[in-house]
Structure 1
Amino acid sequence: MTLLLNIDFLYGGELHLLVEVAIHLVVSIVLATVLKGFHIYRPSLYMPAMVIAWASTVLLYFILPQAAVQYINLEGHIGFLLWVIFHIGFFELLYLFFKRGI
């Protein structure tokens, strides 16, 4: 849970877990809205936008701990694997929802 949304370099104090979850959800909603816009208004750019979003998400996994004030040890392979599975699942769910018109 420490790595949920590692933004301690933006805010001097310690955020409550619910605030971190809320920020994570807001970022997810904004990302989903942008991708939905590509899916509807620019279908030819949807898949490149999805790849860029996924690549950015992966890069942030490595960049945010480097920028963080609190050091986080990222040597756990199981944690990384679960993180990858959940984020791929998120992008897949977005695609399925957009495809069905939701």
Structure 2
Amino acid sequence: MKNLNSIDDIKDFIKENKFVMLYFSSDGCSVCDDVLPRIEELLKKQPKVVSGHVEIQNIPSVASVFGIFTIPAVIIFLEGKEIVRQARYINFLELKEKIQRFSEFV
């Protein structure tokens, strides 16, 4: 999972990759810390997904640019368009199924 440290880095990352998952978290968020390894484990089985990690305290404006109202948050993009968003409660089974379904288009 690549650490992204600016709005421009995030936008370029989305443009440069066809199938992208962004994980938004915050330092000191215990739920975020618990979810991250589960996200990383899920992504090991999804080689078509390129992933990025954004710590929102490092980029305060990211919340408004991407409409992040609660963390942790996962946003998945296909060809630059948002196709999946989950926040606060991440349903890993549903997330896995959606990734597999959209993988067919990559």
TM-score in terms of structure 1 length = 0.25
Which structure carries more helix by proportion? 1
Which structure carries more strand by proportion? 2
TM-score in terms of structure 2 length = 0.24
